[in-house]
Protein backbone atom coordinates (compact mmCIF):
# COMPACT_ATOMS: atom_id res chain seq x y z
CA UNK A 1 0.00 0.00 0.00
CA UNK A 2 1.29 3.47 -0.88
CA UNK A 3 2.39 5.52 2.12
CA UNK A 4 0.00 8.40 2.73
CA UNK A 5 0.28 11.72 4.54
CA UNK A 6 -2.94 12.21 6.52
CA UNK A 7 -3.93 15.32 8.49
CA UNK A 8 -6.59 14.66 11.13
CA UNK A 9 -8.55 17.78 12.13
CA UNK A 10 -9.90 16.70 15.53
CA UNK A 11 -12.46 18.53 17.64
CA UNK A 12 -10.50 19.49 20.76
CA UNK A 13 -13.03 17.98 23.15
CA UNK A 14 -12.56 14.58 21.49
CA UNK A 15 -8.80 14.64 20.98
CA UNK A 16 -8.05 12.51 24.05
CA UNK A 17 -10.43 9.63 23.29
CA UNK A 18 -8.86 6.21 23.67
CA UNK A 19 -10.33 4.95 20.39
CA UNK A 20 -8.71 7.85 18.51
CA UNK A 21 -5.34 7.21 20.16
CA UNK A 22 -5.64 3.58 19.08
CA UNK A 23 -6.61 4.67 15.57
CA UNK A 24 -3.60 6.95 15.18
CA UNK A 25 -1.22 4.27 16.45
CA UNK A 26 -2.76 1.69 14.12
CA UNK A 27 -2.48 3.93 11.03
CA UNK A 28 1.09 4.94 11.86
CA UNK A 29 1.90 1.27 12.39
CA UNK A 30 0.89 0.64 8.77
CA UNK A 31 3.55 3.08 7.62
CA UNK A 32 1.48 6.23 7.09
CA UNK A 33 2.38 9.73 8.24
CA UNK A 34 -0.36 11.04 10.54
CA UNK A 35 -0.66 14.60 11.83
CA UNK A 36 -3.15 15.14 14.66
CA UNK A 37 -4.36 18.75 14.64
CA UNK A 38 -6.86 19.56 17.43
CA UNK A 39 -9.21 22.54 17.22
CA UNK A 40 -9.85 24.75 20.22
CA UNK A 41 -11.78 27.73 18.88
CA UNK A 42 -14.31 28.36 16.12
CA UNK A 43 -12.52 28.66 12.80
CA UNK A 44 -9.50 26.56 13.78
CA UNK A 45 -10.64 23.68 11.58
CA UNK A 46 -10.66 25.84 8.46
CA UNK A 47 -7.16 27.24 8.71
CA UNK A 48 -5.71 23.94 9.93
CA UNK A 49 -7.27 22.14 6.94
CA UNK A 50 -6.01 24.78 4.50
CA UNK A 51 -2.52 24.66 5.99
CA UNK A 52 -2.38 20.86 5.86
CA UNK A 53 -3.52 20.84 2.23
CA UNK A 54 -0.91 23.45 1.32
CA UNK A 55 1.79 21.33 3.00
CA UNK A 56 0.93 18.46 0.67
CA UNK A 57 -1.33 16.20 2.75
CA UNK A 58 -2.84 13.37 0.69
CA UNK A 59 -6.10 13.71 2.63
CA UNK A 60 -7.50 16.01 5.31
CA UNK A 61 -9.78 14.07 7.65
CA UNK A 62 -12.57 15.75 9.64
CA UNK A 63 -12.79 13.99 13.01
CA UNK A 64 -15.87 15.20 14.87
CA UNK A 65 -19.42 16.33 14.18
CA UNK A 66 -21.09 18.58 11.63
CA UNK A 67 -19.27 21.70 12.81
CA UNK A 68 -15.82 20.15 12.33
CA UNK A 69 -16.89 18.79 8.94
CA UNK A 70 -18.08 22.22 7.79
CA UNK A 71 -14.86 23.91 8.86
CA UNK A 72 -12.75 21.37 6.96
CA UNK A 73 -14.95 21.75 3.87
CA UNK A 74 -14.38 25.51 3.93
CA UNK A 75 -10.67 25.15 4.63
CA UNK A 76 -10.35 23.02 1.50
CA UNK A 77 -12.20 25.55 -0.64
CA UNK A 78 -10.19 26.14 -3.81
CA UNK A 79 -7.98 23.12 -3.19
CA UNK A 80 -8.09 19.62 -4.69
CA UNK A 81 -6.96 17.80 -1.55
CA UNK A 82 -9.51 15.04 -0.76
CA UNK A 83 -11.51 15.08 2.45
CA UNK A 84 -12.05 12.07 4.71
CA UNK A 85 -14.58 11.84 7.54
CA UNK A 86 -14.52 10.09 10.90
CA UNK A 87 -18.01 10.86 12.26
CA UNK A 88 -18.19 11.52 16.00
CA UNK A 89 -21.26 13.76 16.07
CA UNK A 90 -24.92 13.08 16.86
CA UNK A 91 -26.64 13.01 13.47
CA UNK A 92 -23.76 12.39 11.04
CA UNK A 93 -26.12 12.67 8.06
CA UNK A 94 -23.43 13.28 5.46
CA UNK A 95 -21.25 10.40 6.65
CA UNK A 96 -24.23 8.03 6.68
CA UNK A 97 -25.20 8.97 3.12
CA UNK A 98 -21.76 8.22 1.72
CA UNK A 99 -21.42 4.92 3.59
CA UNK A 100 -18.88 5.98 6.22
CA UNK A 101 -19.20 3.78 9.35
CA UNK A 102 -19.44 5.25 12.85
CA UNK A 103 -16.57 3.07 14.10
CA UNK A 104 -13.37 5.18 13.75
CA UNK A 105 -11.21 2.25 12.54
CA UNK A 106 -13.73 1.31 9.85
CA UNK A 107 -14.19 4.96 8.87
CA UNK A 108 -10.43 5.26 8.40
CA UNK A 109 -10.57 2.19 6.15
CA UNK A 110 -12.65 4.28 3.74
CA UNK A 111 -9.90 6.91 3.61
CA UNK A 112 -7.16 4.34 3.10
CA UNK A 113 -8.94 1.99 0.70
CA UNK A 114 -11.44 4.03 -1.34
CA UNK A 115 -10.38 6.39 -4.10
CA UNK A 116 -11.87 9.89 -3.69
CA UNK A 117 -14.89 10.91 -5.75
CA UNK A 118 -15.85 14.40 -6.88
CA UNK A 119 -19.05 15.85 -5.40
CA UNK A 120 -21.09 19.03 -5.65
CA UNK A 121 -21.25 21.38 -2.69
CA UNK A 122 -23.48 24.39 -2.00
CA UNK A 123 -22.99 27.81 -0.49
CA UNK A 124 -25.12 29.97 1.78
CA UNK A 125 -24.26 33.67 1.55
CA UNK A 126 -20.86 32.66 0.16
CA UNK A 127 -19.94 30.03 2.76
CA UNK A 128 -19.66 26.44 1.52
CA UNK A 129 -21.57 23.47 2.97
CA UNK A 130 -21.97 19.82 1.99
CA UNK A 131 -25.29 18.48 3.17
CA UNK A 132 -28.61 20.26 3.67
CA UNK A 133 -29.38 23.69 5.09
CA UNK A 134 -32.78 23.87 6.76
CA UNK A 135 -34.88 26.72 8.06
CA UNK A 136 -37.93 27.20 10.23
CA UNK A 137 -39.18 24.63 12.75
CA UNK A 138 -36.48 22.08 11.93
CA UNK A 139 -33.68 24.58 12.49
CA UNK A 140 -35.30 25.75 15.73
CA UNK A 141 -35.41 22.12 16.89
CA UNK A 142 -31.71 21.66 16.18
CA UNK A 143 -30.80 24.89 17.95
CA UNK A 144 -32.91 24.15 21.02
CA UNK A 145 -31.85 20.53 21.57
CA UNK A 146 -29.56 20.55 24.66
CA UNK A 147 -26.01 19.28 24.24
CA UNK A 148 -26.34 16.95 27.24
CA UNK A 149 -29.49 15.41 25.72
CA UNK A 150 -27.66 14.78 22.44
CA UNK A 151 -24.78 13.19 24.33
CA UNK A 152 -27.05 10.82 26.27
CA UNK A 153 -29.87 10.16 23.78
CA UNK A 154 -28.25 10.67 20.39
CA UNK A 155 -30.63 11.47 17.53
CA UNK A 156 -33.64 10.72 19.79
CA UNK A 157 -32.94 14.04 21.50
CA UNK A 158 -33.93 15.89 18.31
CA UNK A 159 -37.22 13.97 18.12
CA UNK A 160 -38.11 14.88 21.70
CA UNK A 161 -37.44 18.57 21.10
CA UNK A 162 -39.40 18.39 17.86
CA UNK A 163 -42.46 17.04 19.64
CA UNK A 164 -42.34 19.97 22.02
CA UNK A 165 -42.13 22.39 19.11
CA UNK A 166 -45.33 20.99 17.58
CA UNK A 167 -47.28 22.36 20.55
CA UNK A 168 -46.25 25.94 19.71
CA UNK A 169 -46.06 25.99 15.91
CA UNK A 170 -45.41 29.53 14.68
CA UNK A 171 -45.00 30.05 10.93
CA UNK A 172 -42.54 32.36 9.23
CA UNK A 173 -43.23 34.42 6.14
CA UNK A 174 -40.72 34.74 3.32
CA UNK A 175 -40.24 35.25 -0.41
CA UNK A 176 -38.56 32.44 -2.35
CA UNK A 177 -37.06 33.36 -5.73
CA UNK A 178 -35.37 31.14 -8.32
CA UNK A 179 -35.65 30.53 -12.07
CA UNK A 180 -37.87 27.54 -11.29
CA UNK A 181 -39.68 29.00 -8.26
CA UNK A 182 -41.53 32.18 -7.30
CA UNK A 183 -43.34 31.95 -3.98
CA UNK A 184 -44.42 34.39 -1.26
CA UNK A 185 -45.92 32.42 1.59
CA UNK A 186 -46.08 31.52 5.26
CA UNK A 187 -44.01 28.39 5.86
CA UNK A 188 -43.01 26.04 8.64
CA UNK A 189 -39.98 24.28 7.14
CA UNK A 190 -37.65 24.68 4.20
CA UNK A 191 -34.55 22.77 3.17
CA UNK A 192 -31.96 23.46 0.47
CA UNK A 193 -29.03 21.24 -0.44
CA UNK A 194 -27.55 18.56 -2.65
CA UNK A 195 -27.86 15.63 -0.26
CA UNK A 196 -31.01 13.81 0.69
CA UNK A 197 -31.29 13.67 4.45
CA UNK A 198 -31.04 15.91 7.48
CA UNK A 199 -31.97 15.57 11.13
CA UNK A 200 -30.57 12.04 11.56
CA UNK A 201 -32.10 10.55 8.44
CA UNK A 202 -35.17 12.64 7.57
CA UNK A 203 -35.66 12.55 3.77
CA UNK A 204 -36.42 16.22 3.16
CA UNK A 205 -34.90 16.09 -0.35
CA UNK A 206 -35.52 12.51 -1.55
CA UNK A 207 -34.48 13.17 -5.17
CA UNK A 208 -31.30 15.14 -4.46
CA UNK A 209 -27.95 14.21 -5.99
CA UNK A 210 -24.40 15.31 -5.22
CA UNK A 211 -23.37 14.97 -8.86
CA UNK A 212 -26.15 16.61 -10.92
CA UNK A 213 -25.13 20.27 -10.59
CA UNK A 214 -28.39 21.27 -8.89
CA UNK A 215 -29.72 22.00 -5.42
CA UNK A 216 -33.02 20.49 -4.31
CA UNK A 217 -35.33 22.88 -2.46
CA UNK A 218 -38.24 21.78 -0.29
CA UNK A 219 -40.73 24.25 1.22
CA UNK A 220 -43.59 23.19 3.50
CA UNK A 221 -46.22 25.90 3.82
CA UNK A 222 -47.99 26.67 7.07
CA UNK A 223 -50.55 23.96 7.91
CA UNK A 224 -52.75 23.30 10.98
CA UNK A 225 -51.00 21.73 13.96
CA UNK A 226 -53.10 18.57 13.74
CA UNK A 227 -51.80 17.95 10.20
CA UNK A 228 -48.16 18.75 10.92
CA UNK A 229 -47.34 15.47 12.67
CA UNK A 230 -48.78 13.53 9.72
CA UNK A 231 -46.73 15.65 7.34
CA UNK A 232 -43.55 14.95 9.30
CA UNK A 233 -44.19 11.21 9.05
CA UNK A 234 -44.37 11.60 5.27
CA UNK A 235 -41.19 13.70 5.29
CA UNK A 236 -39.34 11.09 7.34
CA UNK A 237 -39.94 8.56 4.54
CA UNK A 238 -39.58 11.05 1.68
CA UNK A 239 -43.25 10.69 0.67
CA UNK A 240 -44.17 14.39 0.97
CA UNK A 241 -43.12 15.74 -2.43
CA UNK A 242 -46.54 15.53 -4.13
CA UNK A 243 -48.51 16.60 -1.03
CA UNK A 244 -50.58 19.82 -1.24
CA UNK A 245 -48.77 22.66 0.49
CA UNK A 246 -45.34 21.25 -0.35
CA UNK A 247 -43.14 22.88 -3.01
CA UNK A 248 -40.20 20.90 -4.40
CA UNK A 249 -37.83 22.30 -7.02
CA UNK A 250 -34.38 21.68 -8.51
CA UNK A 251 -32.50 24.97 -8.67
CA UNK A 252 -29.02 26.30 -9.35
CA UNK A 253 -29.57 29.23 -7.01
CA UNK A 254 -32.28 30.39 -4.61
CA UNK A 255 -32.83 33.66 -2.74
CA UNK A 256 -35.00 33.74 0.38
CA UNK A 257 -35.98 37.07 1.95
CA UNK A 258 -37.96 37.73 5.11
CA UNK A 259 -38.86 40.88 7.03
CA UNK A 260 -38.00 39.10 10.29
CA UNK A 261 -35.02 36.85 11.11
CA UNK A 262 -35.45 33.20 10.11
CA UNK A 263 -33.89 30.40 12.15
CA UNK A 264 -31.47 28.55 9.83
CA UNK A 265 -29.18 25.57 10.30
CA UNK A 266 -26.27 24.80 7.99
CA UNK A 267 -23.99 21.82 8.71
CA UNK A 268 -24.75 22.08 12.42
CA UNK A 269 -24.34 25.87 12.73
CA UNK A 270 -27.40 27.83 13.89
CA UNK A 271 -28.02 31.26 12.36
CA UNK A 272 -30.66 34.01 12.32
CA UNK A 273 -30.91 35.58 8.85
CA UNK A 274 -33.26 37.83 6.90
CA UNK A 275 -31.68 37.22 3.49
CA UNK A 276 -30.33 33.89 2.32
CA UNK A 277 -28.66 33.30 -1.02
CA UNK A 278 -27.99 29.66 -1.91
CA UNK A 279 -25.86 28.59 -4.87
CA UNK A 280 -24.75 25.20 -6.16
CA UNK A 281 -21.02 24.59 -6.66
CA UNK A 282 -20.74 21.70 -9.11
CA UNK A 283 -18.01 19.13 -8.57
CA UNK A 284 -15.75 21.21 -6.34
CA UNK A 285 -14.97 18.76 -3.49
CA UNK A 286 -13.11 15.44 -3.50
CA UNK A 287 -14.34 13.02 -0.82
CA UNK A 288 -13.25 9.55 0.27
CA UNK A 289 -16.64 7.80 0.19
CA UNK A 290 -17.81 4.22 0.20
CA UNK A 291 -20.65 5.13 -2.18
CA UNK A 292 -22.61 8.18 -3.32
CA UNK A 293 -25.93 9.07 -1.64
CA UNK A 294 -28.73 6.89 -2.97
CA UNK A 295 -26.37 4.28 -4.41
CA UNK A 296 -25.98 0.76 -3.10
CA UNK A 297 -22.62 0.11 -1.42
CA UNK A 298 -19.98 -1.10 -3.87
CA UNK A 299 -18.90 -4.70 -3.74
CA UNK A 300 -15.63 -5.61 -2.10
CA UNK A 301 -14.09 -5.49 1.33
CA UNK A 302 -11.42 -3.60 3.16
CA UNK A 303 -8.05 -5.03 3.99
Report d(CA 195, CA 127) in Å as an integer: 17
Residue 176's CB: how many other CB atoms inside 10 A?
23
Rg (alpha carbons) of the chain, rounded to whole number? 19
Q: Which residues are within 8 A (CB) of 15 and not within 5 positions of it... i.e. 6 or more apart?
A: 36, 38
Q: Are strands 132-136 and 246-251 parallel, antiparallel or unpaired?
A: unpaired
Closest CA to 264 of 184, 174, 180: 174
Terminal-residue alpha carbon distance, the chain: 10
State the catalytic residues.
269
Report d(CA 218, CA 65) in Å as an integer: 24
Helices (H), the chain: 18-29, 44-54, 66-75, 93-97, 104-113, 137-144, 147-153, 156-166, 225-237
Amino acid sequence: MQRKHLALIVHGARAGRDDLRHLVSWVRGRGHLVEVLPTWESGDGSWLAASAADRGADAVVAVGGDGTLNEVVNGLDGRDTPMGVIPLGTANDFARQVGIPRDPDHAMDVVLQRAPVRMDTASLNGRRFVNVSSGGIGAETTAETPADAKASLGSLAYAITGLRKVATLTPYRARFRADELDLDAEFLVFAVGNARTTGAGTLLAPHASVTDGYLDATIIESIPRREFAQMMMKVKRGHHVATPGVHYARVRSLVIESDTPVSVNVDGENLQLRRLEYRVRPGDLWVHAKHLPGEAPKAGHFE
